[in-house]
Structure 1
Amino acid sequence: MNRKLRTKLPSAEEHVTTHRLPDIKQKRYYDHGSNQLKPLETTDTVRVRGDGVWSEKAQVLARVYIAPNSYLVELERGKRLRRKRRHLLKTQERFVPVHDDDDDREKEVCVDHPSGGATASTNQSAVTPEAAQSSHSTDQSQPVSTMSDVRTTRSGRIIKLPSRYVHD
């Protein structure tokens, strides 16, 4: 009846060939609710999807032809990213690049490197722990951390222990 017989007798061609029609039907039904995203132009303002939200504003610099639907965008803070079209949302907002003086702030911070050496501060306005201690000497409610309270992780993160955990 509907059972395929295991015989050495020749059978009709329609029973031998596989049907591709179900795959085509499945694709049609799967793609039914989807739509094609329109290509972006250079200098279009977009929002970049990150952590489930359209958080940062960016400007399209160019289309990258290495990968399909891939674009090179520049964020307002100056960072350049390559993102697929599905992670970019075209907006009517104005793109205003923000040029902070973060470079000056980075020079003031003294960070221990994993190699063992510490970078010296190039800016003379950097605050040393002794200066911080003398400036806060009038306020006794907030204890000042010393260098023994500070620990640096392998990744460079500086951890300051609370004063209640410091044993003198």
Structure 2
Amino acid sequence: MCDSLLKPAVVDTETAVQENKLRQAHYYNKGAKQLRPLQEGEQVRVQTEVGHHLYWTPASVMGQVKDRSYTVKLENGTILRRNQRHLRPSPGVSPKKEAIRVGDPQAPRLINTTPPTPASPDPQTAREVITTRCGRVIKRPAHLRDFV
């Protein structure tokens, strides 16, 4: 065995810990993006929790408290302080005045609210057009046309 391996070496733990923290912060913040600042009086939706359910409630921004913290006023007059991650800008007037539950399939969609137009039926087969809930036309496979 080599005698030099038995001699103690001084390890600078402070710089090693600091480098480790910087490396972890780099990978943690890799997908982060800067949110645009909200203006006073802007209409937003605030994520609130009722029981075990999350809702997006309409509100109005009163002002900015810190970098990502805002005070908002709900429609019922309640004033809350929320982080910007719990605020979403409203696209104008909401389709419903009540709160929308997060992940609710019955909630109105805020994008592409016009249903797609179904394709015209096949002239050879005088069958009615069957569509899915989202409006996509269901076409039967060609090998099943012999059967009714």
TM-score (norm 2): 0.48
In our comparison, the structure showing a higher alpha carbon Rg is 1
Structure 1 or 2: more strand by fraction: 2
Structure 1 or 2: more helix by fraction: 1
With a CA cutoff of 8 Å and minimum separation of 6, indicate the structure with the bigger relative contact order.
Answer: 2
